[in-house]
Structures are given as structure tokens and as C-alpha cells.
Amino acid sequence: MREAAEAAPDSALVLVVNPDPSVARAIAADLRRALDRDVFACESVSAPQRALDMLTDLRERGGHVALMVADDECSSMSGTELAGRARELHPNMGAIALVPLGVAWSRWGAA
């Protein structure tokens, strides 16, 4: 798998962060199949700090991050906290937080 920091600066990174490496890889693989590989580089990591390190390196190289998909229940920081810190590096980055269904229902008042 190509490291995000090695992706060409003209390709936009889609980064998946999930504490379960197999889940992170599966989501990234699905996104790779769905997105244009000439436009997007899809990568996965299992640790929020690794994601921030990759995003910092990518910023220093002039790369672009299109989207981060992060599990909201990582052990070291939540996906929403990670997205906030990532947006300090890449302000135009989109973010999706993956939350357990019960949490989503209670947050939206549907439970």
C-alpha cells in the first residue's frame, strides 16, 4: 500500500482512521473501488497520532487532503477531536465521524 506522504501532490488524499486495522483497510479498499484513482489516493491507519503525522508530512510536501473518515471511538482521541486537529493542518478537508448506531440515534434524538 502506498504511503499517503508519497502520494503525488496533485492527488487528493482520502484517509481512513479506525482502531481496528482490518476495518480501516476494508473501508479504504471500498473507497478505492468507488473513487477515481487518478484523482484520489485512499489510505488507512489505525492510530490517530499516525494520521496526524501523515497529514503533517503531506502538508509539508504541499499535498491536499480531500476527506478523513474516522472512527469516533479511538482510544487515544475521538474522531471529532482528530478531525479538529487535522483541520488545523488542512482547513478545507472534509470529515466523517463513524459512530456506533446507538450513539447516533441518541445524538439525533431518534432513540
Give the separation between CA 35 and CA 25, rounded to whole angstroms. Answer: 15
Instruction: Please tell me the pTM assigned to this model.
Output: 0.80
- pLDDT at position 10 is 73
Is 11 in contact with 38 (CB distance < 8 Å)? yes
- pLDDT at position 101 is 64
| Rounded-to-10 torsion of CA 18, 24, 58, 75 | 10
- pLDDT at position 79 is 84
For the segment 39-96, what is each residue's pLDDT rounded down to a tens digit? 999 999 999 999 999 999 999 999 999 999 998 877 788 888 999 999 999 999 999 9
Higher pLDDT, 101 or 24: 24
The amino acid occupying position 74 is C
> How many CB atoms sit inside 10 A of residue 81's CB?
15
Question: How many angstroms from the chain centroid is the CA of residue 108?
Answer: 23
- pLDDT at position 110 is 46
78 DSSP assignment: -
